[in-house]
Structure 1
């Protein structure tokens, strides 16, 4: 703690800190949300919750931090910090994520899902599935269908 921080703490004032991200040049921050739209969607949410608990225990390679968030009574989410896009992609292409996404695509059970990704090195991207109204970047940016060269997170980040 620097002298000014020690003095601030001694005077009961909060200390100020920041972070040095130079060790994480490929850092990707992802916000995710899951909105329950129907009662039967609670079952899907419970299944995802178990998988998320497992993920937090086992910590896939590249996951630096995971924080749970609450957006509303029927809308939960998380913020994740990944070492790099390659680690995030490896996780999304493996179980349990691959199975969650496949199952959700087959039957969203009236639920909505979204994510937004931000790269320290530049670029932002988002996907929204079954959300009743715009949220996040979609609340002000023009909608675009995730087709062709805009299909994957990596492709959207490069756009």
Structure 2
């Protein structure tokens, strides 16, 4: 006797209600030169240590996401309680020093991030990244202006009227 196709399904969905200010950030490092391999490999353990130390507001992190092997392109996804926590960490040590040093010398890699705000809005920056990745693959690009904090504040709204109140499907799916 056969079973229905959905009998073994165990789908779960998150309850976002406790995280109205959630921010998810994807970060990537794309190797541009042979020296960039060394830069990438040297950076991995340092960022892993920061995640393991759980800076205030960091809810969860996933490192070593492989975007491609050729060219070598690795990344991470970090979940923050709110934009203020994420920006505070970005302005603190060691991140502030890493970013300053990168702007002086990219050491053969390109760095990018894309940020998604639960309250709405998105923000991204691509620095010395060869080829198109993420939003830059389909959107026109322009010169970055202002600080990271200013860009986040401009794109994150406090209007929650469009957020879903639950996670139930709007229509049933027949099988």
Cα deviation for residue 27 of structure 1 reads 0.5
Q: Corresponding residue for 2:127?
A: 129
Q: Corresponding residue for 2:61?
A: 66
The structure-2 alpha-carbon separation of the partners of 1:103 and 1:129, relative to structure 1 and needing over 3 Å to count, comes to: same
- Structure 1 runs of 4+ with >2 Å offset: 151-157
Greater share of residues in helix:
1
Pairs within 5 Å for 1:20-31: 20-31=15-26
Work out the CA distance in 2 between the residues paired with 1:110 and 1:131: 10
Larger CA deviation: 102-111 vs 120-129: 102-111
Q: TM-score, normalised by structure 2?
A: 0.78
Pairs within 5 Å for 1:4-153: 11=7, 13-68=8-63, 69-73=65-69, 74-147=72-145, 151-153=146-148
What value does the CA root-mean-square deviation take over the aligned residues?
1.7
Q: What count of residue pairs does the alignment treat as equivalent?
A: 147
Work out the CA distance in 2 between the residues paired with 1:27 and 1:152: 20
Is the partner of 2:18 in helix, strand or coil?
coil
